[in-house]
Structure 1
Amino acid sequence: MTRTPRLGLRANLAQFTLLVAVNALVGGMLGQERVTLPLLAEQAFGLTAATGTLTFILTFGLVKAATNFFAGTLSDRYGRKPVLIAGWLAGLPVPLLLIWAPNWGWVIAANVLLGVNQGLTWSTTVIMKIDLAGPERRGLAMGLNEAAGYLAVALTTVATGYLAERYGLRPAPFLLGAAYAALGLGLSAVVVKETHDHARLEAGSTVNLSSTRQIFLLTSFKDRTLSSVSQAGMVNNLNDGLAWGLLPIMFVTRGLPLGQIGFLSALYLAVWGLGQLATGAMSDRWGRKGLIVWGMLAQGLALAVIAFAGGFLWWAAALALLGAGTAMVYPTLLAAIGDVAHPSWRARAVGVYRLWRDGGFAVGALVAGVVADLFGIPQAIWTVAALTAASGLIVALRMDETHRRGSA
């Protein structure tokens, strides 16, 4: 006998908790690269120009952005679970390619597959949690989802940094990724349940939009709120691409050991991850817009401090602020998309938003790489800081509040 689906975190606690764990494994797949690949580019493959080193982020960002878009469409057509399993199948070869890579081309190929893995798995876990949570606790649901993912990125970054310092850049750091991929595939195939019926229940019989083209244009350009959210997501990941690709290189040139570099990267990610446990729920209580505006401005200030100041303690404080600002923004942007988009086309709207958001990795790699090669890494950081602050001002001027304060 088929059970009628029910909406809400309490009614779906077991599956929701399982999906949180699955998304932690998704984040761990990304964490295996945060410290190791920028250093591998220079030390193993002799890439010295910033634009060359950042090709792996450019590739990853482009592929993940495109895959995000298709993840929403495919999950509406075929269901959420098959898309999740396909994402894990794409991720299985990634650690092995990085371990055995004889040249940089293998690393690029690994990041193509990682982009597919992240686009399909992370997008689908977001969509599935929105399906289960219903409208009342959407911010909390997104906070838990993103917290799990980025805490796993942080913990894996610390682990791989110390593994690389003790055992070398290969193979030890990437063995963690191999374990994550195997476990994620097993859980997704055997234990995770389909959630598409929950979205159908929330949608009822009303269908507002059916054309993917309409949804793309509305989310990207036509709707003031959705387009504001999309540009903020893109700029947020633009500065995260800078933090991923250039900051470890700058810290090496300033004489920091690998262990401290791993700690700084993980501090940023840990504050980001833990902060979302609070900020998602805060957006349910106080609204989305203010958190997004102040979060973007905080990120811009943090990047300015990194560019201006020097020394481990200053950088640690600035990266903590960068993580806090990102925590204010990340789950809140997703919750705002869920507020505005109708359940019948919400998965596709999430895919479009994540197309723009993760396209920020590619834009960041290009902008930061070119500016760093021409003028130096500090100037690249100043440029991205200005873009981030400007994005916050755009949200302040264009976005409408999407969640009535106190309604939750």
Structure 2
Amino acid sequence: MIVNLKNNILFFHLILQVLLVGLILGLFRTVIPALAEVDFGVPKGSFILLSTFVMSFGLVKGVSNYYAGIFSDRFNRKIVLVAGWILAIPAPLLIFYAENWYYIVIATSIIGIHQGLTWSVTQISSVDITEQQSRGFAVGLNEFGGYVGVAFGGILVSYLTDLYDVRIASLIFSYFIIFIALLLITFFVNDTKKYINEVSQSNQIDKEFIKNVFYKVSWRDKKLFSYCQSGHIEKYIDTAVWIFFPVYLYNIDMPILEISYVVGIYTVTWGILQIFTGLYSDYVGRDKLIIFGMIICSIIIAICPIYNSFIWWFFNSFILGIGMAMLYPSISSAVNDNSNEEWRATAIGIYRFWRDTGYASGAILIGVFSSIYSIEVGFYFVSVIMLLSVIILINYNR
């Protein structure tokens, strides 16, 4: 899959980097939503206000993804990776000294920049050093590393909050991870742009076409458009699990540790299975896995509110993780497949822009339905829009 031993070592460190990125995100996904009312005064039923930090995260991360791709093509991958970690440094202090919820929104926006730059670059770099026929596997491994980090980050921080105040726990946890990440980059991570330069020198590229790549990826190329909209809509599932699952379960008095297990099994299942689904997509194609994964998620999100027991929610989160594992690396790999090497990093950044802005639109729309009707109706809305996205994908990929 990878060219030589040296590149295998580099690939390992890129996976380790995205694992650390995921650990940072795990803090925000598990602890903050559940403790919002107690620590930050967010009203228990205020889904719109509670969604503000997800909206800011999605919008900022989406834009950061876009520029991560552009800067990676224009400069090099390592510079962007280092910048992403350095920019994360103020966020833990903002949480520690937070006087109201809007400090958390600002801190989350900073983490969104960090996530967009670092995660995008680790995936772009992993694909750079991977043979074309194995890119699904490479993307799967990258997503595996990141989302296993998200899962265990949330669980570890939940345990730390039993020993320390949540602000102290987040401060210690975050700065330890940032320090380790920068240390490893300094000594073990090299730039990978030279590998794609070797490939692209033999290809003739229309420079005017490259300038219009955003329009091509976003709309003009119907295949790429179908993948962008699928990526955008599938983030509604992630938004529901990230913000609305903890709120719903917290409101029915499920313990915080059990909530972390419900959210954690989703991300662990998703993360681990992506190794296999990414590899499988290299052999059977991307579209089947995307379609079946979205249908599974659509069904499960609709039946989650039937019962309030921990076992029921744990099981359904596990099935959601399977569905996401099928679709998530497959969409990214499909964008890689349909992009030219010269502008592949930019195309991935554009796709990730549309994908992660799904956090923002998802938070707004699910929040509106939850506030006007109920949080259960918000889940039903996600189910319906997932099915509509599948119809668009099938129509544009016949």
Work out the CA distance in 1 between the residues paired with 2:182 and 2:41: 35
Residue 157 of structure 2 corresponds to 160
Output aligned runs, 1:106-125, within 5 Å: 106-125=103-122
Q: CA deviation at 1:11?
A: 6.2
8 A contact 1:288–1:332 mirrored in 2: yes
Q: One-letter code of the match for 2:21? A: V
* Structure 1 consecutive aligned stretches of length 4 or more whose deviation exceeds 4 Å: none
Q: One-letter code of the match for 1:164? A: T
Partner of 1:345, secondary structure, is helix
* Corresponding position: 1:287 with 2:285: yes
Q: CA deviation at 1:287?
A: 0.9
Work out the CA distance in 1 between the residues paired with 2:239 and 2:72: 27
1:337 to 335, 338, 354: 335
* TM-score normalized with structure 2 length: 0.95
1:303 to 294, 301, 304: 301
Q: CA deviation at 1:338?
A: 1.1
Q: Please identify, of 266-275 and 383-392, the stretch whose mean Cα deviation from structure 2 is larger.
A: 383-392
- In structure 2, do the counterparts of structure 1 residues 333 and 174 end up closer, same or farther at CA, with 3 Å as the change threshold? farther
Q: One-letter code of the match for 2:143? A: E
Q: CA deviation at 1:135?
A: 0.3
Can you give the 5+ residue segments of structure 2 that lack an aligned partner in the other structure?
Answer: none
Residue 172 of structure 1 corresponds to 169
Residue 65 of structure 1 corresponds to 62
Work out the CA distance in 2 between the residues paired with 1:268 and 1:389: 20
Residue 228 of structure 1 corresponds to 226
Work out the CA distance in 1 between the residues paired with 2:223 and 2:107: 36
Work out the CA distance in 2 between the residues paired with 1:8 and 1:147: 21
Q: One-letter code of the match for 1:153? A: V
Q: One-letter code of the match for 2:331? A: L
Output aligned runs, 1:242-281, within 5 Å: 242-281=240-279
Q: CA deviation at 1:9?
A: 6.8
- In structure 2, do the counterparts of structure 1 residues 210 and 37 end up closer, same or farther at CA, with 3 Å as the change threshold? farther
* Corresponding position: 1:47 with 2:45: no
Residue 132 of structure 1 corresponds to 129
Q: CA deviation at 1:83?
A: 0.5
Residue 31 of structure 1 corresponds to 26
Over the matched positions of the two proteins, sequence identity in percent amounts to 34
Work out the CA distance in 1 between the residues paired with 2:341 and 2:126: 13
Q: CA deviation at 1:162?
A: 2.6
Work out the CA distance in 1 between the residues paired with 2:248 and 2:4: 43
Work out the CA distance in 2 between the residues paired with 1:73 and 1:161: 37
Residue 347 of structure 1 corresponds to 345
Q: One-letter code of the match for 1:395? A: L
Output aligned runs, 1:355-366, within 5 Å: 355-366=353-364
- In structure 2, do the counterparts of structure 1 residues 129 and 307 end up closer, same or farther at CA, with 3 Å as the change threshold? same
8 A contact 1:207–1:344 mirrored in 2: no
Partner of 2:342, secondary structure, is coil
1:200 to 197, 201, 208: 197
- Provide the alpha-carbon RMSD of the alignment: 1.6
8 A contact 1:134–1:202 mirrored in 2: no
Q: CA deviation at 1:66?
A: 0.5
Partner of 1:231, secondary structure, is helix
Residue 366 of structure 2 corresponds to 368
Work out the CA distance in 2 between the residues paired with 1:183 and 1:29: 12
